[in-house]
């Protein structure tokens, strides 16, 4: 076979490959890929199961103590779905860690290289991961709020009485919050590329700042605390109207997500893998 023939046949072969393959790896195919990776590792299922157990345990405990306090004459009424929402304080850490790990483990395992070889368009790869992580967070949020309510309601008795609107608010608020938080933490994970760093950041963002900011005797720092993701989630999931309502709460969460995930994507596109 002459040299020229080899070149020609290779060009022909490439042409047929291109024809049969259509467009570059599509967003849908990239999402399918990301979902496969996420679901295939045992640690994902273990983390989600742990989060579920922790969440229903805490929901039940809140309901139980509400009933005990109520029976002792204290004012302890709270709709059961809101007890479940309050319990997200614990479960959200598992979800945040899972989201951050979905990218930091790719760096520590070296899978980031094969992922980028499969889907070299970086914004597409990370966008698909964000979509999968965000949907997982949302759906898992619904599941947590629902399961927590299911356990809290009978335990709290009439101290946890609720209507359909309260259940819907908690379901949507909890789901939206967990979906947004997952995408934020994915952004942090990309920026830091380190599991330890990302989980530390999650603690600071979820527990640290909401505790620390109000300690300052400076008005705007105290006000800023209201606009932290955790507080926006709390407002969204319990239908509060003070200091702001659901619309602003959604905007606050979207903005946090845009800033953290957006800067993650921006850096991911420019940085050497």
Partner 1 sequence: MIIFQDLGKDYGSVRAVDSLSLSVMPGKVTGFLGPNGAGKTTTMRMLLGLDSPSRGSATINGVGYAQLLAPLRTVGALLEPRTGHRGQRADSHLTGLARSNKIPVVRVQQVLEEVGLGDTGKRRIGTFSLGMRQRLGIAAALLGDPEILIFDEPVNGLDADGVAWIRGLMRAKAAAGATVFVSSHLMSEMQSTADQLVVIGRGKLLAHDSMDHVLASSAQNSVVVSSPHIGILAGALEKAGFTVAMSGIESLQVTAATPTLVGGIAHELGLRINELSLQRASLEQAYTELTAQSLDYVPTGIVEES
Q: Does 50 bind partner 1 (CB under 8 A)?
A: no
Residue 23 beta carbon to partner 1: minimum distance, rounded to whole angstroms: 7
Q: Does 123 bind partner 1 (CB under 8 A)?
A: no
Per CB under 8 A, the segment of 7-15, 211-219, 236-244, 254-262 that binds partner 1 is 7-15
Interatomic CA distance for residues 179 and 133, integer angstroms: 7
Q: Does 120 bind partner 1 (CB under 8 A)?
A: yes
Contacting partner 1 within 240-269 (CB under 8 A): none
Q: Does 214 bind partner 1 (CB under 8 A)?
A: no
Interatomic CA distance for residues 144 and 236, integer angstroms: 16
Helix axes 164-192, 229-238, angle to 10 degrees: 160
Comparison of 120 and 262: residue with beta carbon closer to partner 1 = 120
Tally Cβ neighbours within 10 Å of residue 28.
10
Interatomic CA distance for residues 89 and 221, integer angstroms: 22
Q: Count of alpha carbons within 13 Å of 141, Cβ hemisphere only?
A: 31
| Contact with partner 1 (CB under 8 A) among 48, 63, 93, 119 | 119
Q: Does 113 bind partner 1 (CB under 8 A)?
A: yes
Size of the site for partner 1 (CB under 8 A): 42
Contact assessment for residue 225 and residue 246, using Cβ atoms and an 8 Å cutoff: no
What letter would DSSP give residue 23? S
Per CB under 8 A, the segment of 26-34, 137-145, 162-170, 179-187 that binds partner 1 is 26-34
Q: Output helix, strand, coil percentages for the chain, rounded to the nearest 5.
A: 85, 0, 15
Beta strands in 73-211 (DSSP E): none
| Contact with partner 1 (CB under 8 A) among 65, 69, 76, 105 | 105
Comparison of 113 and 203: residue with beta carbon closer to partner 1 = 113
Contact assessment for residue 156 and residue 67, using Cβ atoms and an 8 Å cutoff: yes
- The site for partner 1 (CB under 8 A) is made up of 1, 3, 6-7, 9-11, 13-14, 17-18, 21-25, 29-30, 32-33, 36-37, 40-43, 105-106, 109-111, 113-114, 116-122, 272-273
């Amino acid at each position: 076979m002459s040299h020229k023939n080899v070149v020609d046949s290779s060009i022909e072969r490439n042409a047929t490959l291109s024809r049969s393959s259509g467009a570059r790896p599509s967003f849908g195919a990239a999402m399918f890929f990301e979902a496969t990776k996420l679901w295939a590792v045992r640690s994902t299922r273990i983390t989600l199961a742990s989060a579920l157990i922790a969440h229903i345990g805490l929901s039940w405990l809140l309901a139980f103590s509400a009933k005990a306090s109520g029976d002792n004459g204290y004012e302890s009424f709270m709709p059961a779905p809101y007890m479940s929402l309050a319990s997200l304080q614990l479960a959200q850490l598992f979800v945040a860690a899972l989201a951050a790990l979905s990218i930091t483990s790719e760096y520590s395992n070296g899978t980031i290289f094969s992922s980028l070889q499969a889907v070299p368009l970086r914004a597409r790869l990370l966008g698909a991961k964000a979509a999968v992580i965000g949907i997982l967070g949302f759906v898992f949020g619904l599941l947590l709020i629902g399961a927590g309510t299911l356990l809290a309601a009978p335990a709290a008795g009439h101290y946890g009485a609720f209507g359909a609107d309260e259940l819907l608010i908690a379901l949507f608020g909890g789901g939206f919050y967990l979906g947004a938080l997952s995408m934020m933490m994915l952004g942090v994970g990309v920026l830091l590329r380190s599991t330890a760093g990302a989980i530390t950041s999650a603690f600071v963002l979820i527990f640290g700042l909401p505790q620390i900011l109000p300690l300052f005797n400076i008005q705007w720092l105290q006000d800023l605390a209201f606009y932290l993701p955790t507080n926006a989630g709390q407002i969204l999931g319990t239908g509060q109207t003070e200091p702001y309502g659901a619309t602003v709460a959604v905007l606050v969460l979207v903005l946090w997500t845009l800033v953290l995930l957006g800067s993650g994507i921006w850096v991911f596109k420019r940085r050497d893998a």
